[in-house]
Structure 1
Amino acid sequence: MLSRRELLLLRAMYQHGTVTAAAHSIHMTQPAASALLKDMETRLGFALFSRENRRLHLTSQGRSLIPEVLNALSGMESVDRLASDIRQGASDRLSIGAVAVASSMLLPPALVTVRRAYPGITFTVRAGSGLEIVEMAVDHRIDLGIVIGSSAPTDRVLKEPLAAVSLFAILHPDHPQAHAKALTLAEVAALGLIALSPALPAGLATQQAFQDCGLDYRPLMEVAQSFTACELAGEQLGVAVVESLGARYAQRMGLVARHLLTMNDSALSLVSPKDRPLGGPGQCLREALRAAVQGLGVMPGS
């Protein structure tokens, strides 16, 4: 097992690239840092760094450790902050997980509501995919999560649907088809499809919808965020297909959103640990998120 000091040194080496700079950043001497790195490699049984042109570079084995090193330190630092809050009497704290588009479109007004009800509360907001958010709820790393379309293990996570989710075509207002009352998938394909990655529920639903209609799925561009797809449509580089929250973002940008179809197998939902009931702040956030969804009008055909 690696100690916190060793994890800090690995993170510093990843950030600074030299033993001298890394050691200085965590208040160690260079000889002590070098000795600690050598000891870690001996205990782990593989090299963490290779030397090239008088600089140390992470080996492939060393690079594979870095994401977990960063996650471990983030968790430790979160525990430290929580302990500090408790010492100072600020025991109200909410940890929230959300897919990116939900964290931008739903969380801000909801958190304002919670802060008004609980002025001393502190928040931790974690981003991730739907499956990652569910895993955070299973592991009690979050109190409440917002996901789109992820299946949840019902024996360990509570899942509460908030709203149905639809796919929308996003166009620049000067686009020749912007004034059309409706668009078909075939028309979208002909206009240049900007699609979300099939790794996302909306991207997978788009791909499946094309296949169900007997259309070739050949995106002009494929991106990982609804915001990016909308921005590209705003530059008139094609027609974006995004989910309901992305469509609301597009409308805020002054773009045109046209309903395409309802995602039957996906919904905007809340997830929370099944064996840890929500406290007052969590209940307040849940109600505030419900209100935020209604305020956005995230419904099929909207």
Structure 2
Amino acid sequence: MKTSSSWLQSLEGKHVFITGGSSGIGLAIAKEALSQGAFVTLVARSSTKLEKAEQILVKNGATKHNILFKVADVGMYETLAKAIKESFEWRAVDVLVCNAGTAKTALLDEGRIEDLHAIIQTNLTGVVNTLHVGIPLMKERTPQTPMSIVLMNSRSGMYPLYANSMYCATKYALKGLGETLKLELMPYNIRITTVFPGYVETPMLDYCGLEDKKDILEIFKIINLYDRSKAETAENVAKYTLEATKNGTFLVTNQFSGLVLSSLSRGPMPADSFGRAFIELILYIPIRIFTFFTAPYMYSVIEHKNQKK
């Protein structure tokens, strides 16, 4: 088994498979991977959006030689399985990126049941479908070949996102899935990288519908520190995601808020370095004490805003 501190060395000549690749973080990862000499398969459910993505990538130097496009909904097992198998036939996948995701802001009992089911279907079932097909194909490769699976999570996989309970539930589930897969796939030289970005300026922020729900938005801004003007770019997320993947890093966060949440939420899995473990240990007790003051404040905000309705 490979033990080098640099897991994949580089992406030159590697094959990166990406779901939800027609826009946002998925498309940004595709651009970055191609710039580093990788071959890329992009999967998305909308052929129209995938065609637009193709135009963007072709302008950035992509050709039929180094990129493959597949139309498939991650929630539809049969069509997704066909796309994944055809991608593996094109060339063996080295990095499998489960990125497809969706969100819809609403209190659980006020949201449409169709929207809640769609979130589960994309964010959780879609990942399970992708892994169920992809992992056996990755296992067929020699055990000496280092490979990676990337689970694109969210800060809401470590911290409750007000009025997004089902989105949070799927992201918390992905955290547990990643921790279990880390153990299951260790004998096959397949590493798991779980990425927890904060707010990212992508179309998903529009899908959330926050700007159209003024009453919820007021609470959301306070409790979840939401400021769209400070959202990070998809390109930035793509860069640190691929660097972490090459290094074989398990839990990936950025910014101070990410460090705080990883200190509280890492669970039984050790940090990837002694330095990171030491910092998280130092932060843990002060943060836990701090929550005794922040939690009552959050409750009062919610109560006050709801009394004004």
Q: Report the TM-score when normalising by structure 1.
A: 0.26
Q: Which has the higher helix share?
A: 2
Bigger relative contact order, structure 1 or 2 (CA pairs below 8 A, ≥6 apart): 1
Larger radius of gyration: 1
Query: TM-score normalised to the size of structure 2?
Result: 0.25
